[in-house]
Amino acid sequence: MKAPLYSLLLCLMLSACNGSHKNIPSTINLPEFPGFEIKANSDFGSVKLSGYEYKSVDGKTVAYNTCAEATNSKETEIAEYELFRYRLLINSCHALKRYLAAKPSTDSFFPSQFDASLVRELPATSVPLLNKTQEEARTGKTVNTYFANGQLSLEKNGSVKLQTVDDEIIYTLLARGDLTNDGIEDLLVRTEWYARKASGKHVDLLVLSKTGQDKAVTIEWRLMSN
Amino acid sequence: MALRADVKKDVAKNIEKYEGRFEHIYLDTKGKVTVGVGHLISNRGAMAMLVFYKTKNNLPTTIAPTQEKQAEYDAVAKLPWGQQYGAATFKKSTNLVMKDANINQLLDRHIDSFYKELTGIYKKSKGYPEDFDNLPANVQLALFDLIFNLGASKIVSNFPTLDAAIKKGDWKKAAPETNRPDVSVTRNLYVKQLLLSVPAAAVTTP
């Protein structure tokens, strides 16, 4: 009886040393998916939604009961003042789809905690982008170097807030898992931008990868292009 | 000078389209207490400065005292908020309302503050074809849309090609540069059309 136990312990010790035999399950940050009926072995089509209603441009109430309904809808039908909230739902639905397709990882180079020190190392382009000028100015820089005077803080829900003179940017970890099919754990992160002195707001969804301890975090995929 | 009445009317109509209009307080998608046309109420103390009415049969009756307004603020601030909760869903949790006249007053103040910023940025002495007040009405409307969305510093610093085109009075070149992914296709098209409708370097005097 003891031999299998010793083997298991040895295996765990070895995997801790070289990191190539881990089996890290994908995980989802469920509180960030309110009204999503996600069960074990859910597939994207079977996940039901509750409480997602919007006003249309002609004043009617539009309700979405599944992500398929929501992602197949046209945002031009939604009243302008509901647009951001509608885009948050679309963002969540895409995140769910990515998470359900994720595989367990064999290794991870991300820390277990999603916090300010991790956000500091993310590419500066991780902030929802408004145009090419912003993208070019931020390319090759990290949050730490581009927003040198920005204040980072941890929010009650575990999100990280980056505040600058003009902007507030919220980073929320939605899921972890192998999202890029290379065996290495990636992060699925929602980023929200809010203008502090105006009404602008924008949301994006990112797949972040880190393929080595000394490698920089890269954006492997994003929902919104500018 | 003052903002042209026709421009102000259109700006007010547009802001209402973008923000909605709610007589009761609600939590926006960040959990901030808000009322009227996107008017943020920064804390419970700020309720004292706003005029709310008690209601009977869904109609405003008498002016609510500060204590009651702050109690309503406290109650709503504790409610869940976020992507599931549109502004209208908070109506059932409120007892007080603002009258249209008070909502309009807040909106006017909002427009005035952006107008001041616009007149500070767009000056002939700073290289623009005219002072803001003398720019064509449709250009004024387009700039209002941009500043309301992005804020004063971003429309200049983050949109340099747009700014250069505005300085040249080249509205045709400026039009595509106003595109923003955070607003709707319809709104982007509206702003582009405003600029495209103005002949190059056409400057009006009121």
Whether A195 and B152 lie within 8 Å, measured CB to CB = no
Burial of A91 (0-12, 13-18, 19+ CB in 10 A): buried
pLDDT band for position A136 (cuts 50, 70, 90): very high
Reported ipTM: the value is 0.93
Distance CA A96, CA B103 (A): 39
**B168-191 average pLDDT score:** 97
**What is the mean pLDDT of the segment spanning B169-174?**
97
Q: What's the pLDDT band for B1 if we cut at 50, 70, 90?
A: confident
Give the tens place of pLDDT for each residue, A106-125: 999 999 999 999 999 999 99
pLDDT given for residue B200 in this prediction:
80
Confidence of residue B201 (pLDDT cuts 50, 70, 90): low
Best probe of the A interface among B13, B84, B186, B187, by most A CBs < 10 A, is B84
For chain A positions 150-179, those within 8 Å of chain B (CB to CB) are: 165-166
Which residue in the set B80, B88, B150 is minimally distant from A198, CB to CB?
B150
pLDDT for the residue B86:
96
Between A176-180, B76-80, B122-126, B198-202, the lowest mean confidence (pLDDT) is in B198-202
Q: Residue B70, exposed/middle/buried by CB under 10 A (0-12, 13-18, 19+)?
A: middle
Whether residue A6 is predicted with pLDDT greater than 80 in this model: the reply is no
Average the pLDDT over B135-149 and give the result.
Answer: 98
pLDDT 10s digits, B69-107: 999 999 999 999 999 999 999 999 999 999 999 999 999
Pairing of strands A53-55, A151-154: unpaired
CB B13 within 8 A of CB A194: no
Which chain A residues are closer than 8 Å to B29 by Cβ? Answer: 84-85, 88, 201
pLDDT, tens digit (0-9, with 9 covering 90-100), for A50-98: 999 999 999 999 999 999 999 999 999 999 999 999 999 999 999 999 9
pLDDT at residue number B164:
97
The token pair at A113 is: 């905690």
pTM for the full predicted model: 0.91
What's the confidence (pLDDT) of residue A4? 41
The predicted pLDDT at position A13 comes to 39
Average pLDDT over residues A170-186: 98
Summarize pLDDT for A40-50 with one digit per residue, the tens.
788 898 899 99
B150 neighbors A49 (Cβ within 8 angstroms): no
Q: Which of B153, B161, B187 sits opposite A166 (nearest CB)?
A: B153
Q: Once rounded to an integer, what is the mean pLDDT over residues B13-22? A: 98
Query: Is B151 within 8 Å of A166 when comparing Cβ atoms?
Result: yes
Distance from CA of A197 to the nearest CA of B (A): 6
Q: Are B44 and B73 in contact (CB under 8 A)?
A: yes
Residue A12's pLDDT is 39
- The answer to whether the CB atoms of B19 and A193 lie below 8 A apart is no
pLDDT band at A146 (very low <50, low <70, confident <90, very high): very high
Residues on chain A touching B151 (C-beta within 8 angstroms): 166, 195-198, 200
CB contact under 8 A, B148 and A202: no
Given an 8 Å threshold on Cβ–Cβ distance, is B182 in contact with A75? no
Segment B142-168 mean pLDDT: 96
Residue scoring higher pLDDT (B53 or A21): B53
- Neighbour tally for A84: CB within 10 Å: 22
Residues from chain A that touch B182, judged by Cβ atoms under 8 A, are 84, 128, 130, 193, 200-202
- Computed over every residue of chain A, the mean pLDDT equals 91
Contacts of B82 in chain A (CB under 8 A): 34, 88
Confidence tier at A21 by pLDDT (50, 70, 90): low
Task: Please compute the mean of the pLDDT values over residues B174-181 and round it to a whole number.
Answer: 97
Residue A138 has pLDDT above 60, yes or no: yes
Q: Does A195 touch chain B (CB under 8 A)?
A: yes
- State the DSSP code for A78: B
Q: What is the mean pLDDT of residues A20-31?
A: 88
- Do A195 and B153 count as a contact with CB atoms less than 8 A apart? no
Nearest CA in chain A to B162: A133
Phi, psi of A189 (to 5 degrees): -125, 130
Which tokens is B117 given?
């910023």
Residue from A131, A146, A194 to probe the interface with B (highest B Cβ count within 10 Å)? A131
Residue numbers in A near B154 (CB within 8 A): 130, 166, 195, 198, 200
Confidence of residue B124 (pLDDT cuts 50, 70, 90): very high
pLDDT above 90 as % of chain A: 85
